[in-house]
Structure 1
Amino acid sequence: MPKKFPPEFKRDVVRVARRGDLSQAEVAADFDISVESVRRWVRQADVDDGVVDGQTSSEQNELVQLRRENRRLEMENEILRRAAAYFAAGSLPNELPAGP
């Protein structure tokens, strides 16, 4: 499982990487993280800051939450559909009423 870093740490890494006086590999070595992490964080910061198009971090988080909620609601709907069918089947009369 990937290691979680606090947002403040990521912001510091991005700030140092954007200064341009060190390569991303040097920044990664200084902060004891992978070069790919530096690249990914800088790329995401560019999106978050509006420098490039893409999904911002808050949009990504919202999408994850909405997908979770959607799954939960779909499960609830399925349970309600099954319950309605079960109770409807139990309330049907066995005989048809006689005509007028």
Structure 2
Amino acid sequence: MKTRKSYSKEFKLDAVSLVTEQNYKITEAARSLGISANMLGRWLKEQESEGAHAFRGNGKLTPEQEEIRQLRAENKRLKMEKEILKKATVFFAKETK
């Protein structure tokens, strides 16, 4: 069974710059680096779409994804607080009768 090889962010950026800045063809750059042309093509697309946030690595979120995660956590907390207040209202309403 083959193990999957991982490449550093710097390697990916250098590989992409060969094509974008030094005008290599994708196949030439991939061959000289010992990677597949398809992989280099994916890296180029990711660099174009993500820009500075490309090649984040595992578990590293974009600022938008991090904000969504925080907002979901806050939403969950606020819903729990609302439920606690509802239960407290019912409890104290029974106590006053």
TM-score band w.r.t. shorter chain: 0.5 to 0.7
Choose between structure 1 and 2 for higher RCO, CA contacts under 8 A separated by at least 6 residues.
2
Tell me the TM-score normalised to structure 1 length: 0.63
Tell me the TM-score normalised to structure 2 length: 0.64
Q: 2:53: which partner in 1? A: 57
Q: Which segments of 5 or more consecutive residues in structure 2 lack a partner in the other structure? A: 55-60
1:52-97 deviations in whole A, cap 9, x for unaligned? xxxx527x7111111111111111111111111111111113665x
* RMSD over aligned Cα atoms: 2.8
Structure number with the higher helix fraction is 2
Q: 1:20: which partner in 2? A: 23
Distance 1:4 1:68 in 2: 27
SS at match of 2:93: coil
Count of aligned pairs: 86
Q: Give aligned-pair identity as a percent.
A: 16
Q: Which segments of 5 or more consecutive residues in structure 1 lack a partner in the other structure? A: 49-55
Q: 1:36: which partner in 2? A: 38
